[in-house]
Amino acid sequence: MSDSDTPAILRGLRRFTPARIGLGRVGNGLPTTAHLQFQAAHAAARDAVHSALDVVALRARLAAAGVVTVAVKSICPDRPTFLLRPDLGRTLDPDDATALAARPLPGCFAVVLADGLSALAVASHAPALLELLLPRLGPSVVVIATQARVALGDHVGAALRAAATLVLIGERPGLSAADSLGAYLPGGPAAGRTDAERNCVSNIRPEGLAVPAAADKLLWLIAEMRRLGLTGVGLKDEQALALGSEAQDRSIPMVTT
């Protein structure tokens, strides 16, 4: 089915979504172009899940921007184990936990860059997001974590005796996005935090939630977290309501500890 053969209502929907709409058919199958596009998207998703984060390159890039980092890992021995055992990805390597505990930074803000299920997302979008966040967070430490799930950030923050933790992690790829970055705000770090205690800002990427908009959202949530002492289901995203017509001007005040 060529674009000219696609019903007008489907052509209109295509402007608002990358979903596969009105692909048409050739006999019992898809047209060749649609089939090849699907295979390419599937391959990109698989590559994102299996690829390792280049920690050396990421640390060098952040160092060039003046950001000092610490590298840690979970107890997963390799990528296949990480994919099969999510529980292991939530536990910090004992040696790394000891090293972090030996250099505590009480009251700091721990920002954890975790490879998660898309190292591509972290490498592509986390540095730009950090550039907007770090000047507004106050005293912070940036930790790069590999073979890591969201909850690993709780262990990192607890070892550092941080006041709060923000986890930037590669999200599970779909067939329209292999580079989606998620941000999780669990509040005061402690092992055993539940998902109900975390705020999440997801789909951070140019074709989703742009980095500047994501930074605004996170800074607003962090300011409210500090003001109310709440995260998760207790902290509602009322940024637009609170800022009214100024919600788009990004004039959010400095977040202080």
- The secondary structure element, H or E, covering residue 73 is strand 69-73
Sign of the alpha-carbon dihedral angle for 2, 7, 11, 17: negative
- Looking at residue 17, what is its pLDDT? 75
**Residue 212, C-beta contacts closer than 8 angstroms, at least 6 positions apart:** 132, 250
Mean pLDDT over the full length of the chain: 86
Q: In a 3-state reduction of DSSP, which class is residue 195?
A: helix
- Across 103-112, 121-130, 229-238, the highest mean pLDDT is recorded for 121-130
User: Contact, 115 vs 170, CB < 8 A?
Assistant: yes
Q: Is the pLDDT of residue 78 over 80?
A: yes
Name the amino acid, one letter, at 35: H
Q: Give CA 135 to chain center in angstroms.
A: 19
Confidence of residue 257 (pLDDT cuts 50, 70, 90): very low
- In total, the chain counts a number of residues equal to 257
Q: Where are the chain's structural domains? A: 52-246
Superfamily of domain 52-246: Ethanolamine ammonia-lyase light chain (EutC) (3.40.50.11240)
- Looking at residue 4, what is its pLDDT? 53
Q: Is the pLDDT of residue 141 over 70?
A: yes
| 227 beta partners | none
